[in-house]
């Protein structure tokens, strides 16, 4: 889906989505959550300008999950560099951080020469995050698991 909805531990909805700015020709991945009375950003700029993707290339197909500490993680595919790559960020309490070097820059977590699209992010009860995606050049599915 292009607009994943996930509930936090307090049953408040969180949404990650892409939005287009046709005047500057890019889309950004944005993130908001409901406080019980209003929708708000998580961190400065998560729902304005470039959002959490915060780059000048098109970003699409957000996927959203919470870790065991109830912190949101977002994966998406980015069209920069000539082909689509899979990127991931997580909220660390003060900013949308990369999950290891290059998870939201360069070739991202897919970092290959083909088009990687449509990520699906899940975090198990043991806290281990997984991201699956479709490689449209070869018609294959890939899964990456984090081990810290």
Percent of the residues in the chain that have a pLDDT greater than 90, as a whole number: 61
Half-sphere exposure of 87 (CA within 13 A, CB side): 29
Asked if the model's pLDDT at residue 4 lies above 70, the reply is: yes
Sign of CA dihedral 35, 62, 21, 98: positive
Residues in CB range of 32: below 8 A, 6 or more apart: 14, 15, 39, 40, 41, 42, 46, 47
User: Residue range 20-28: average pLDDT?
Assistant: 63
pLDDT of residue 3: 78
Mean pLDDT of the region 4-32: 82
Give the model confidence (pLDDT) of 30-50 as tens digits. 999 999 999 999 998 898 878
- pLDDT computed for residue 138 by the predictor: 79
Higher pLDDT, 72 or 137: 72
pLDDT band at 27 (very low <50, low <70, confident <90, very high): confident
Write down the pTM of the prediction. Answer: 0.91
């Amino acid at each position: 889906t292009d607009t994943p909805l996930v509930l936090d531990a307090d049953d408040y909805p969180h949404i990650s989505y892409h939005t287009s700015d046709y005047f500057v020709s890019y889309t950004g991945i944005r993130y908001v959550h409901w406080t019980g009375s209003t929708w708000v950003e998580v961190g400065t700029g998560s729902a304005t300008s470039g959002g959490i993707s915060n780059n000048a290339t098109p970003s699409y197909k957000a996927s959203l999950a919470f870790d065991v500490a109830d912190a949101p993680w977002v994966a998406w595919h980015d069209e920069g560099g000539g082909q689509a790559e899979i990127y991931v960020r997580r909220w660390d309490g003060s900013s949308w951080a990369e999950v290891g070097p290059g998870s939201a820059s360069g070739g991202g977590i897919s970092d290959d020469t083909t088009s990687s699209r449509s990520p699906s992010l899940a975090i198990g009860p043991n806290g281990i995050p997984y991201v699956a995606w479709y490689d449209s050049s070869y018609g294959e599915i890939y899964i990456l698991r984090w081990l810290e």
